[in-house]
Structure 1
Amino acid sequence: MSSFLDEIKWTADGLCPAIAQDAQSGKILMMAWMNRESLQLTAQNMVATYWSRSRQALWRKGESSGHTQLVKAIKLDCDADAIVLEVEQLGGIACHTGRQSCFYKTLTDGQWQSTEAVIKDPKDIYS
């Protein structure tokens, strides 16, 4: 019996990019990587779990910050090589910088400008 995991075109190192999107507003919150195990756990528990390339370990979003992502839907693109997680972002902060979104810089006149305020100082999140 084939698993939904077998339908994904994983990279050579067994990963697939995953975009977390706010289920209500549609705002893109972050991008992370998933492997088979992290996607399986996410689908089972409906709590976003990713693969940390730097730590080479599973990473349940919010395990250290408290900013857990409750998954409302898991979507796969037409090429089967990218995932979108529609989530409820607990605490309203997805980025380790204390912002709502990791995509807080906008290219303006050839320069990256910060366009989103810090909601909570990272020192207060990760202390």
Structure 2
Amino acid sequence: MIDLAFDENGLLPAITQDDETGEVLMLAYVTEEAVAKTEETGFAHYYSRSRDELWKKGATSGHVQHVSDIRVDCDGDTLLYLVQQDGGGACHTGYRSCFYRTLSGEVVGEKAFDPEEVY
């Protein structure tokens, strides 16, 4: 495996992209354990900084991410997860992508599911 440049907290950003459409779905952080779990299971695992724990994407919502490939940037300090997104979307707010609004606040994405019904 390539040497990865985890930060002082043992974290590395991971961009998640739909492997068919190229749409950027989310950005999260991973630890060595999260990367290993992702490789082992084929499902995206991340590290929740707010909960301070490893988590499998979709464990609660059912909107899992099947990882088809993991790419490493030139500096070894960012990963790209290429995924097939199951369920309505990747964002916990109910949108397909976490990048559903502009800097001015205009909503440019569509709701994919009702988070009240999922969480």
Q: Which runs of 5+ in 2 are unaligned?
A: none
Does residue 52 of structure 2 align to residue 56 of structure 1? yes
**TM-score (normalizing by structure 1):** 0.90
Instruction: Give the match for residue 118 of structure 1.
Output: 111
C-alpha contact (below 8 Å) 2:6/2:77 kept by paired residues: yes
For residues 60-119 of structure 1, what are the alpha-carbon distances to aligned partners after superposition, in whole Å with 9 as ceiling and x for unaligned? Answer: 000000000000000000010000000000014100011100000123xxx221101212
**TM-score (normalizing by structure 2):** 0.96
1:96 maps to amino acid: H
Residues 1-127 of structure 1: matches in 2 within 5 Å? 4=1, 7-107=3-103, 111-126=104-119
SS at match of 2:105: strand
1:79 maps to amino acid: D
Q: CA RMSD in A?
A: 1.0
| Runs ≥4 residues deviating over 4 A | none
Higher strand share: 1
1:122 maps to amino acid: P
Higher helix share: 1
Kindly state the Cα deviation for residue 15 of structure 1 after the two structures are TM-superposed.
0.3
Identity %: 43
Q: Which runs of 5+ in 1 are unaligned?
A: none
